[in-house]
Structures are given as structure tokens and as C-alpha cells.
Amino acid sequence: MNKKINILFVCTGNTCRSSMAQVLFEEMVKDHGIEGIEVLSAGTSVFYPSGASEKAIQVMRDKGIDLTQHRAQQVTCEMIGQADLILTMTNNHRQALVTMCPEAADKIFTLKEYAYGMRPNDVVDISDPFGLSIEHYSICSDQIVQALEKVVEKIKNENA
């Protein structure tokens, strides 16, 4: 891969879904030997730079991935401008980013929409585990992994 690709994952607080998506995707591209991908995550409503939620940390630890160093950050138009691809966890997140930076609309998708070729009116949301049980975090993680596998396939095919 000659060109560096910047991918931004976005959810609400950047403590659960997008933070898990970031570290999972980093592991997947490394495992597939894909180079030149910069991965960030951010949230639409981050009030202070907290770490990842304890349950997200646990679910990632169970997969052999360390999420303890993560710090939540607020998404900005500058981040959106620098990203080549923005993958949100819900259609509402996608809409918020398009409203915030309409000029970037053509590179903002929900994760499921991009991974599976779904339309925005389909059920394209990754379920929010915030405040729920560890099982919900695990289900959420599995949804993210399944979609990210498709994203990795797309990237590999585009750069073959």
C-alpha cells in the first residue's frame, strides 16, 4: 500500500464502541499484514477525556487486546477533514457528523453500511452496551468484529 489511509471510528462517548472498534481494527490490519493505515476514534459527546469503560477493557482483554491506555476525545471537523474514511456506530452519529461537516458527507458511513453495503434506512446501528452487562459488551464487540472483517476484505481487495 503506497498511500496512507486514515480511518476514524465514531460513537457517542468514545469509551465503548468506537474505542473497541479502533483497537480491534488495528489488530486485524496488523494480523493481515496491511500497512499504511492510521486508526483513530472519537465521540460526538465527550465531556472529559476519560478512559475506556471497564467492561470494554475486560472484553478486549479477553481477546488479548489492551484498551487501558485509551483516552476519549471529542470529534472535530479537523479530525473529519484529515480522515479518508469515517465509520460511525449509528445512523444518528453519521447524521451528526454530516451536519457538523457537510463537505465530508461522501466519506462518512455507519460501520455496517460500509461493511455490508447497506443503505442508511436499513438497520445499520451497532448496539450500545453502555451501562449494560458484560454480555452486552461482548455482543457489541462481536457485531463490530463481524463488520470489521468485511472492511478489512474491502481494503485488501482495493489494494490488491
Catalytic residues: 11, 17, 128
57: cell is 477493557
93: cell is 452519529
Helices 54-62, 17-31: inter-axial angle, 10-degree rounding: 20
- Cα gap 61→107, rounded to integer Å: 31
- Cα gap 157→37, rounded to integer Å: 15
